[in-house]
Structure 1
């Protein structure tokens, strides 16, 4: 039987720094759906606002500022300091849209990876 040489995989050319906080923010919004209007909605608001600002910062660092705009809007909407008084059905829709924005931003914000030093 002939043995095959295993070649190492080529290094990725893109680095997605916003992917992890994007997934976490989306998960927080989906997990926070049953908490809308409850006493723990403020905890979800803290988590979402902080993660939205982190993703916005990664967007600015990647020079993709157009992603910073919706992420700052998410941070403002879920800010725990001056919360918005919206009806529960509006919050449900906002949670779903916010989760989609988090996932899209996390997947589409990237920077070129530096070539490895030899």
Structure 2
């Protein structure tokens, strides 16, 4: 007797993987502040903030768009701000938490494929 297949989830979380990757980059970036490789961290965080923001707009969860825009501006690699010290490290942790929260809550209805 064949086993019944479980129903497909009703929602999909497109921002989940970019949110996790961005949170990892934020936490790793704390150790690289002031290092030449920190420029790569700025690029990664800014690009992933734009991606997560775009998924938020697609999911019609507009409240995440300004948060991701602010992160993309603060971690802008083209005209970087000269932030450093304890407050910048705290900002990395807050941004990581924002990425994780956005990745967990941004969801769109799954469309059935045939």
TM-score (norm 1): 0.91
Aligned to 1:16: 13
Shift of residue 39 of structure 1? 1.4
For 1:17-62, what per-residue CA distance to the aligned partner results, in whole angstroms no more than 9, with x for missing partners? 0001001000111111110122111110000000000000001111
Report the Cα distance in structure 1 between the residues aligned to 2:5 and 2:95, rounded to whole angstroms.
Answer: 38
Larger Cα Rg: Structure 1 or Structure 2?
A: 1
Aligned to 2:96: 99
Aligned to 1:71: 68
- Structure 1 residue ranges without an equivalent (≥5): none
8 Å contact from structure 1 (residues 37, 88) kept in 2: no
- Structure 2 residue ranges without an equivalent (≥5): none
Shift of residue 5 of structure 1? 4.4
After TM superposition, list the pairs within 5 Å mapping 1:1-118 onto structure 2: 5-117=2-114
* CA-atom RMSD in angstroms: 1.2
For 1:73-100, what per-residue CA distance to the aligned partner results, in whole angstroms no more than 9, with x for missing partners? 0000000011111232121101100000
Tell me which stretches of 4 or more aligned residues in structure 1 moved more than 4 Å. none
TM-score (norm 2): 0.94
